[in-house]
Structure 1
Amino acid sequence: MATQLPYALIFDMDGVLIDNTPYQAKAFQLLFRDLGLTTNARRLLVHLNGMPATNILKTVFRNPVPEKQLKEYSSQREFLYRVLYWDKRKEMPGLSHFLQAARKAGFKIGLGTSSPPETISYIIDHLNLRQYFDVIVGKEDVDKGKPHAETFTVVAQKLGVPPEQCVVFEDAILGEQAAYKAGMRCIAVSSGVKPEQFQAPLHIIRDFSGLTPEQVRELLEQNPATPKPSKQLARRDYMKL
């Protein structure tokens, strides 16, 4: 008798493990003000959240900016974000309880984020969440960040679980697209995006309160097909980054 393959849960970090999107937006807005830009950061992040910060910044300048300068702006934004969020760090309601239950239920658990190691540590070590993850993949571990599939593909490979057995928890439109590109299904976390703005998630949650591994397993078994990435989103210029 064949042994059933395990399911894997793959989590994005910002907006999923923590509800920090307003602070991310405020940090971008302060940077834009300093640079004399009028871009609305909250509106921008609805469409571009999930991408590496340097790629987001590429979209707000009319003329090309050298990569070194973009990295400096990104570091400035990161500093502003940490100052703003320093005393506000806390996990999404119900997260630890859900992660504990998922491990007990036999799920493999991975983290796939566009953040660098020091930013990952700033969140998950401060909140003592590292213990729950079998694999952690960040910006330094991939060549192409979201909306490319590589982040989630690498997590699945390291977990030893095929894409069709993985479900991604994402709060961003581009993160959902990255999941579908990787051949995975998605549960959306509506912390920064309205539920109707997602394409085709298995389920939409505001946080992890009341969510159980049994519910996730049922959703996966009842919805075996992976949606195709949205052609409409794929036509957007920022999807070429």
Structure 2
Amino acid sequence: MLQLDFTPEAYLFDMNGTMIDDMGFHLIAWANVLNNELHANLTDEQVKQQMYGKNEELLARVFGEDHFTQAQADAIAMDKERAYQAAYKPHLQLISGLGPVLAEAQRKGIKMAIGTAAIPFNIDFVLDNLQLREYFPVIVSANDVKQSKPHPEVFLKCAELLGVAPAKCIVFEDAPKGVEAALNAGMKAVAITTLHEAHEFAQYPNILAFVKDYHDPAIRELLER
């Protein structure tokens, strides 16, 4: 039974790892760039822990704030994204059960937005190949915010643009920092355990449920609210 005392008016989705199960491909692409090209000598687990926020912020966390110019960071990030897209495209699909959930939420009048640290290059890759734009009148990308998750700006901006109070929004997230952003925005969250396990979210009291995919009974219960 979900501990929810309101009727949700909006669903806010992170994208990578939440709508599509692609974080393993991002991990491989980042590990290759960081270790083989930039010689950071990180373990896969260390790379995984850095995979949040904007690409330039990840590079700054690993190498220091002034190690790369903005132009260099942008070029590194685009090389990584091209490698990720080339590897993932044959596998590109929604996480199981999400398609019907989006259709039913739309039918019920639940507003939907995407709030992601992805750049438009990757957002277009997903939305256009999977023909999802009809569901998302609001998309807030890395380019649209000054402060990345766990700061709540991305989700608060989604709520504002949808015209829904933050407390009436449900966030779908796969990353602990994303769930923290939802908490900081005053929003409940559903955690999708594609890359991170439930114990990695232990400090967050705003999680309604942990699900592997959108066939989980908790999702059905949420839609019936």
- TM-score bracket, shorter-length normalisation: 0.7 to 0.9
Deviation at 1:143, TM superposition (A): 1.7
- Report the number of matched residues: 215
Q: Which deviates more from structure 2 when the two are superposed, residues 109-118 or residues 10-19?
A: 109-118
Instruction: Determine if the alignment matches structure 1 residue 122 to structure 2 residue 125.
Output: yes
Structure 1 counterpart of 2:210: 204
In the alignment, is the contact (CA less than 8 A) between 1:7 and 1:107 conserved in 2?
A: yes
Which amino acid is 2:50 matched to? L
Q: Do 2:30 and 2:47's aligned partners in 1 also have CA atoms closer than 8 Å? A: no
SS at match of 2:129: coil
Structure-2 separation of matches of 1:211 and 1:133: 24
Distance 1:149 1:97, change over 3 A: same
Distance 2:153 2:72 in 1: 25
* CA displacement at 1:214 relative to structure 2: 5.3
Q: 1:126 to 1:75 in 2, by over 3 A?
A: same
Shift of 1:73: 1.5
Pair 1:172-2:149 in alignment: no
Match of 1:54 in 2: 56
Q: Given residue 206 of structure 1, which amino acid in structure 2 is its aligned partner?
A: K
State the shift of 1:144 in Å. 1.7
Paired residue for 1:77, among 67, 70, 80?
A: 80
Q: Which runs of 5+ in 1 are unaligned?
A: 222-241
Displacement of 1:42: 4.1
Say if 1:196 and 1:150 are closer, same or farther in 2 by CA, change over 3 A: same
RMSD over equivalenced CA pairs, Å: 2.0
User: Are 1:24 and 2:33 counterparts?
Assistant: no
Q: Which runs of 5+ in 2 are unaligned?
A: 1-5
Q: Aligned partners of 2:121, 2:134: CA distance in 1, in Å?
A: 17
Cα distance in 2 between the residues matched to 1:159 and 1:202: 22
| CA distance in structure 2 between the partners assigned to 1:139 and 1:157 by the alignment | 17
Which structure 2 residues correspond to residues 1-241 of structure 1 after superposition, within 5 A? 7-32=9-34, 33-45=36-48, 47-61=49-63, 64-65=66-67, 66-198=69-201, 199-200=204-205, 201-211=207-217, 215-216=221-222
In 2, Cα distance between the equivalents of 1:16 and 1:108?
A: 17
Which amino acid counterpart does residue 10 of structure 1 have in structure 2?
L
**Residue 228 (structure 1) aligns with:** none
Deviation of 1:211 (Å): 4.7
Larger displacement relative to structure 2 (14-23 or 81-90):
81-90
2:221 and 2:180 map into 1 onto residues whose CA distance is 23
One-letter amino acid matched to 1:51: G
Whether the 8 Å CA contact 2:172–2:191 is kept in 1: the answer is yes
Give the drift of 1:62.
Answer: 5.4
Superposed CA deviations along residues 61-90 of structure 1, whole A, max 9, x for unmatched, are 257313332222111211211121121111
TM-score by length of 2: 0.88
Distance in structure 2 (CA, Å) of the matches to 1:6 and 1:55: 32
